[in-house]
A and B are shown apart, each in its own frame.
Chain A
Amino acid sequence: MTDESLTKLTISELAPMIQTRQVSPVDLVDASIARIERLQPRLKSFINLMFDDARTHAKQREQAIGQGEYLGPLDGIPLGIKDNLAVAGVPATAGAIAHADFVPDEDAEAVRRLRAVGGIVMGKENMHEFAAGGRSNNPHYGAVTNPWDAKRIPGGSSGGGGANVAACLTFASLGTDVGGSVRFPAHCCGVVGMKATFGRVSQRGSLLTWGHGDHVGPLTRSVRDSALVLQACAGHDPSDASSRKLPVPDFSARLGEDLKGVKIGIPKSFFFDVVTDDVEQRVNEAISIMTELGAELVEVDFPWLEYSRSVWLMMAVESAVTHEHLLRERRSQITDELILGMLAGQFIPARDYIKARKLQHLIKDGFASALAQVDAIVSPTSPAIAPLINAESITIKDVEYDLKLTRDEVLGRDTYLANITGIPAISLPCGFGEAGMPVGLQLMGRPFEEDRLYQIAYACEQALSVKDTLCPLAKE
């Protein structure tokens, strides 16, 4: 097997080969570096590369494994880290020039956990500026391109991670998801994105968080790999107030279980109200496959969602506060589009903010009621395939949606509800839509039951024909 072909494998395929020393972490890292050097200029998927550190770490792991000190399935595996997550000694720009001089002195907790089990960080990945959008068309570090079609966005805000995993530059990426920023790039790039329950993964070292819905989560090329990476990241962090002190189950334990007796919730409204025909068709085909696998479909309804946009807009209010020092001192270094959204937040009355918080409670109750009836709720991850990089609007069912002024809201309408409710949600590829672009299927589950979501997602993945389909760039 050539070095190049090694990069096309999944983590779960590679792990036993590394454990038994058939594959060297040094060779694997070198193969990853070769692909990054060749394709990064086209993808614009990294902001800072860490090749020297990666090679040093790989040599250490190779020596340790040779001495029988294998640390588990992530040992020796090349990973990417979104640039709003701290890696000690490396600038954490959050995709913003205004933040480029910040060099953290310790790893984000999730990064620390990945490195503790042998994960090798290849670099810091490009993203939408300040994680405040879904296009990753970063004006400072380059517009990340989609490895399926370079004219299209990779999604975002964790766009570099989605592109890197899909194009086989890395085997997994650690991203953040405040409204769909892991799941949307998974949808656009044809990979798996997991946002665990709020409190499952420490947020410590995640920069510029908006607090009420940010989550750290993995992008991978398979559901099994997603479970492995989340396993390494998850668990209580006493230094993070949002972290929950709960047992962490074996996320891989239910992989391979069938769907007999599993109840899948089909939303009566909202999630399928705004969706293109190609995306709806692929999602409906996946739902049919679930029933063939034994799942029972149950219609579920969610009150209050017609008002939910106001809960999402709380982010603008919070960002005006979170970024106040930058808005006062470094405004000329921030993109105008972002500034306007942040500045607008300062004019929202506290009365309206509190009302939105109360509505958030009602929406959470609505999801709780639905999830008392079913094991998971299914939806598209996003209403349409990845739009063109320079697209200013998108048309869905004859309605034109402005992508610029609305800050990508239509593309995130199916994902942000899992953030404001805190429930776990996963996106996995379920087929291809217009122009041969990937389509994501979203599954949302009960809090702290990620193992159940992985069971359902894995069963779908194994049955869907999209499994093992690599993007064109991955074959170069």
Chain B
Amino acid sequence: MKITPATLRAMLDEFGGIPMSEEELKQVTPVVEAFVAEFSRLGELDLGDIDSALQMHADDGEFSRDR
């Protein structure tokens, strides 16, 4: 997905984001593009019925308690 500084400027203005200069927007654009590309890969997974990890502790799951 191609992201432009203009897209990010619109998001900042419309959603009340942390203010950024035009130069910062230009520099951050490839970083955001890389982030979005990585997150978009999650579209390959069916995550609808999966609980969020926020609901879990480190020892939740199937760990053996046999000590």
Contact = CB atoms under 8 A, between A and B. Distances in A.
A343 interface: yes
**Majority SS at the chain A contact face:** helix
Contacts, number: 124
Given A307-B41, A310-B39, A356-B39, A368 B24 contact: no
B64 A359 contact: no
Contact of A307 (B42, B51, B54): B42
A352 interface: yes
B20 to A, nearest CB: 6
User: Chain B: interface residue count, which band?
Assistant: 35 or more
Interface string A358-401: 11111011011101100000000000000000000000000000
Contact of B28 (A197, A212, A328, A340): A340
B38 A357 contact: no
Interface stretch (A72-80, A202-210, A442-450, A462-470): A442-450
B47 A347 contact: no
B56 A328 contact: no
Interface string B3-35: 000001001100001111000100110111001
B58 A423 contact: yes
B15 to A, nearest CB: 9
A328 B12 CA distance: 13
A362 B63 contact: no
Interface residues of A, number: 52
Interface in B35-64: 35-36, 38-42, 44-45, 47, 50-64
A358 B50 contact: yes
A339 interface: yes
B67 interface: yes
A448 B35 contact: no
Interface string A296-329: 0000000010010110010010001000100110
A343 B57 contact: no
B64 A357 contact: no
What are the 4 tightest A-B residue pairs by CB atom distance, in nearest-first order?
A422-B58, A368-B61, A360-B53, A352-B39
18 contacts: A198-B58, A313-B35, A344-B31, A344-B35, A347-B11, A347-B35, A355-B47, A357-B52, A357-B53, A361-B51, A361-B52, A361-B53, A362-B50, A364-B60, A368-B63, A372-B63, A446-B63, A448-B59
